[in-house]
A and B are shown apart, each in its own frame.
Chain A
């Protein structure tokens, strides 16, 4: 979703403060806060507002602040109570990437979770040198003993950071989430670093938690890492490991600020300047996509890359992809047809990679189809092959274009629309890595059909 875009959503709650229906993006936030629809309002400030309006029997209107995994969200919410519950009208929806300071102050929950399941907790100073080791499980006791012996040395002296030969310690953001092993011993851990605030916004030190990898997944503070992110793949690439995480936030801020200017939220502005701001946002989006794609490319081209095959449902993946891009489709008045709820097409592949391919295909279809058309997601099971096809009603591809559309950095002569020319290359690479394939059939003027084929399960 574009940061800064103004969206209006409506929702309804019943008398027990349960959300009965909600438009996007409120529905997504409700889920991100751990709620469901129908289900009790899970966004704390919104729940308070709905409760108050119901209790006071008055129309209330306030700013509601919340956060999902990556964004600080604020919205203007008007709540009108009636006999059945409350009607909610939401506008001025804004999602801004969390700044360092906000993330610094707001990760308490996550730190709490880490503390609960950590095998080792150490207090570090601002240079990541060990000050004290306050708790250790049996498996890490030898490491803890070494740290206590030689406190004052960087914590990275006592463990091995997987996949990194850099001089340690790196910047904490790069080490946060890194995989840790200890010498020859068995066991793998994830390092979580939580900065502690000091004077004048500087970092005074860190809480270091080593969480056993079998202890279950810890929510990742950087949601951008969820899809197609190489951070949890073993790779040595500088870009994926070091550069991409460092670039994401500044680029997101460029987009957010440029969008603010473009939409004239800071006051009226001559058209040409709003246009320039739009260009800046567009260029930054292109850069953002390129960074993600390059990081991804590096991950999948690294030696030893292999998707983890699993039994998945292609129809479910198709419905999920359509749900994720639903807002974008509605913005362009494009109808996305998905397989019905009961349909199931079992296949073998890695779910998040399949979803990544589908998001790429559907994203392209939404980008290049005329407004008001239909994009169909069709699933098929034929013998030992399962497939999902994304069919659009766009301009289609000539045979020459079809021949090179899967090439690296191929843009088919398009420019400035946010594409990097890597998406389809990566998608086909992924499809083939999962013993499947990605193909296209099209005639110019009749739309394109991209088909992802996988072994049936």
Chain B
């Protein structure tokens, strides 16, 4: 029997709930078509291969796991890791809704996959490139020390990627900040005690963080330290993929995540232009594009573009 006292308030609550659910499923249906079309039309499966998708999911889950474990530790839970295992999936979902975090995990997964592919095809050592060796041998003590630290960070990066991990300390500062905000929103302010533990955990994470020691920080520091010599990093075989991507980003004014995406198949024009914008001669840029994608054709009359027009084209395309 239907309850007689069906109040107006209950009614609106139910309507709102259904409306929300419908909106959510609408969005899922709307999203499904472009994704399917993309997968059908583009032969660029590299970007969305099962392996990449799995790696992105694992990394987002790992960020969530570390944060929840931190909160559990702050709450005095003797088994923080077990509790975090149980709770972190829904937080990982919240991260997937954050475009920059999602994009970053995606770019890292692609970078790791690309490093493996180039190691297999060109025999490129994924951790210690010739340029990194030279930097380690630099007579400048600061450069040499940064290069040693980068060597260790590169080795850790390979390991963590294989395990589907993304340590908090390796996130760029802005993304760690974003992740912490997502985490605090996810926990909510209703549970006063839990919110306080989250605040404690957050303070500790922020105080521990040092962007300069992260892999991406070290890469950026070394490449900018090379000044005009950074062009040496724009040789895949010499610089290795990590230094190459950072030099490409800095030289062409891209975000690094975007520069890594540009290295994937189907982005040949973008990476070619970015290399030109960095000041590479057309023949040298072409050699790099061929090293990345031996089968992909270069845009015709590519070699008639100068660095300035390449940079302008890229700036226009990014708008």
Expressed in whole angstroms, the minimum distance between the Cβ of B245 and any Cβ of chain A is: 15
Contact B228–A260 (Cβ < 8 Å) = yes
A60 proximal to B (CB < 8 A): yes
Contact A76–B140 (Cβ < 8 Å) = no
B211 proximal to A (CB < 8 A): yes
Contact B220–A57 (Cβ < 8 Å) = no
Interface segment out of the listed B8-16, B45-53, B170-178? B170-178
Q: Within the assembled complex, what's the spacing in Å between the Cα atoms of A265 and B227?
A: 7
Q: Within the assembled complex, what's the spacing in Å between the Cα atoms of A256 and B227?
A: 10
Q: Within the assembled complex, what's the spacing in Å between the Cα atoms of A194 and B141?
A: 44
Nearest residue in A to B217 (C-beta to C-beta)? A61
Expressed in whole angstroms, the minimum distance between the Cβ of B173 and any Cβ of chain A is: 5
Contact A200–B212 (Cβ < 8 Å) = no
B134 proximal to A (CB < 8 A): yes
Q: Within the assembled complex, what's the spacing in Å between the Cα atoms of A224 and B177?
A: 43
- B224 partner, pick from A59, A76, A199, beta carbons under 8 A: A76
Mark each residue of chain A from 49 to 92: 1 if its CB lies under 8 Å from any CB of chain B, else 0. Answer: 00011001111111100000000001010100000000000011
Q: Within the assembled complex, what's the spacing in Å between the Cα atoms of A56 and B203?
A: 10
Expressed in whole angstroms, the minimum distance between the Cβ of B15 and any Cβ of chain A is: 40
Contact A266–B229 (Cβ < 8 Å) = yes
Interface segment out of the listed B33-41, B101-109, B187-195, B306-314? B306-314
B207 proximal to A (CB < 8 A): yes
B250 proximal to A (CB < 8 A): yes
B75 proximal to A (CB < 8 A): no
Query: Would you list which residues of chain B between 210 and 261 have a CB under 8 Å from chain A?
Result: 210-212, 217, 220-221, 224-232, 250
Q: Within the assembled complex, what's the spacing in Å between the Cα atoms of A74 and B228?
A: 12
Contact A264–B139 (Cβ < 8 Å) = yes
Known: A78-B212, A265-B229. A201 touches B306 (CB 8 A): yes
B302 proximal to A (CB < 8 A): no
Nearest residue in A to B309 (C-beta to C-beta)? A200
- A63 partner, pick from B174, B220, B309, beta carbons under 8 A: B220
Which residues of the other chain, B, contact A197 by a CB distance below 8 angstroms?
A: 308, 312
Contact A76–B176 (Cβ < 8 Å) = no
Expressed in whole angstroms, the minimum distance between the Cβ of B150 and any Cβ of chain A is: 13
- B207 partner, pick from A57, A78, A265, beta carbons under 8 A: A57
Known: A61-B221, A257-B228, A267-B135. A56 touches B206 (CB 8 A): yes
Contact A260–B227 (Cβ < 8 Å) = yes
Known: A56-B173, A56-B177, A200-B309. A256 touches B212 (CB 8 A): no
Which residues of the other chain, B, contact A53 by a CB distance below 8 angstroms?
A: 173
Contact A268–B137 (Cβ < 8 Å) = yes
Chain A residues packing against B (C-beta within 8 Å): 4, 6, 52-53, 56-63, 74, 76, 78, 91-92, 94, 96, 101, 197, 199-201, 256-257, 260-261, 263-268
Chain B residues packing against A (C-beta within 8 Å): 131, 134-135, 137-140, 142, 173-174, 176-177, 203, 206-207, 209-212, 217, 220-221, 224-232, 250, 304-309, 312
8 new A-B contacts at CB < 8 Å, known A58-B173, A58-B206: A56-B177, A59-B210, A61-B210, A61-B217, A91-B142, A92-B224, A260-B229, A266-B226
